[in-house]
Structure 1
Amino acid sequence: MVCASQPKPEGGTPLKGLYKALEDIVWLTQLGLNMLLPLLLCLGGCWWATSHWAWPEWVYLPGIFLGLAAGAQNFWVFAKERMDRAKKDKNHRVGFNSHQ
């Protein structure tokens, strides 16, 4: 019987794997929201402008492009931050007297 506090042969605990999986799910959910919400907000603004101010229907086209551009920009910032964080974590070295 394996207890959660016993180290695995690789040196980590089973809870570290679960924590990493949950962290990846949260990052993926956040990325999806960062890309989808700008498009939905732009489309909502276009709908409101066409229904309340009687703007023409072609306003949706620039709204779609603006929403996609904002989602792409959010993706770029998110990916850059994630790569920088991975690079920083990868270079972490443990010395002889460092205890974890």
Structure 2
Amino acid sequence: MKGLYDVARHLVWLTQFGLSVVVPPTLCIAGSVWLRHRFTLGGWVVAVGVVVGVLAAASCLRCSLQALDRQGRPAKKDGEKTSPISFDQH
């Protein structure tokens, strides 16, 4: 049963990882194309949308990998000092 739980947990992480990398650029590009057509702006708006989307995807990727790393760390042994968790690591 534990093996099935691990497979399901990894499947959830993989799905979340894919969505967090694909959705931000898609939404930014779609929004920039809509802005271009709605307000008759130049092609630079789409370029800005691509850049913002890629930066947002990189940020989401970084956060997902940090969360995965925190989850995979071994527990501290007795006697080892643990550093306090900062506000951003909750």
TM-score interval, smaller chain = 0.7 to 0.9
- For the pair shown, the structure with the greater C-alpha radius of gyration is 1
| Structure 1, unaligned runs of 5 or more | 1-14, 94-100
CA distance 1:92–1:20, change in 2 (3 Å): farther
2:75 matches 1:91: yes
Matched with 2:82 is none
Within-5 A mapping of 1:1-100: 15-87=1-73, 90-91=74-75
Tell which has more relative contact order, 1 or 2 (C-alpha 8 A, sep 6+).
2
Please tell me the residue identity of whatever aligns with 1:91.
A
CA distance 1:38–1:80, change in 2 (3 Å): same
| Structure 2, unaligned runs of 5 or more | 78-90
4+ aligned runs moved over 4 Å, structure 1: none
Q: TM-score normalized by structure 1?
A: 0.71
Paired with 2:19 and 2:2, the residues of 1 have a C-alpha distance of 26
State the Cα RMSD in Å: 1.4
Paired with 2:61 and 2:4, the residues of 1 have a C-alpha distance of 25
Q: How many residues in Structure 1 have an aligned counterpart in Structure 2?
A: 77
Q: TM-score normalized by structure 2?
A: 0.78
Q: CA deviation at 1:62?
A: 1.6
